[in-house]
């Protein structure tokens, strides 16, 4: 998404991304915390929109 925004012609849209970290990206990782990380990203985005977007 961010690459697409950077390469679009003018006027460029404003983009922002929120992402939670849920593993160390090592060979032993699992998806145990994936749903929780998605929840925290979503919750933060929701609160951000409530506070800063008209």
Give the pLDDT confidence of 15-47 residue by residue, as tens digits. Answer: 788 899 998 888 888 889 999 999 999 999 999
Domain that holds residue 2: 1-53
Report, as an integer, the average pLDDT of 3-8.
80
Query: Residue 18 in contact with residue 48, Cβ under 8 Å?
Result: yes
Query: Residue 5 in contact with residue 13, Cβ under 8 Å?
Result: yes
pLDDT class of 3 with cuts at 50, 70, 90: confident
Q: What confidence score (pLDDT) does residue 46 get? A: 95
The candidate with the shortest Cα–Cα distance to 21, out of 4, 37, 36, is 37
pLDDT class of 54 with cuts at 50, 70, 90: confident
Q: How far is CA 48 from the centre of its chain?
A: 12
Largest CA distance in the chain: 44
Query: Residue 22 in contact with residue 36, Cβ under 8 Å?
Result: yes
Q: What confidence score (pLDDT) does residue 11 get? A: 83
Q: In the chain, how many domains are there?
A: 1
């Amino acid at each position: 998404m961010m690459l697409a925004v950077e390469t679009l012609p003018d006027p460029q849209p404003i983009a922002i991304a929120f992402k939670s970290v849920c593993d160390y990206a090592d060979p032993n990782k699992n998806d145990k915390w994936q749903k929780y990380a998605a929840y925290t990203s979503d919750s933060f985005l929701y609160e951000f929109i409530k506070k800063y977007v008209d």
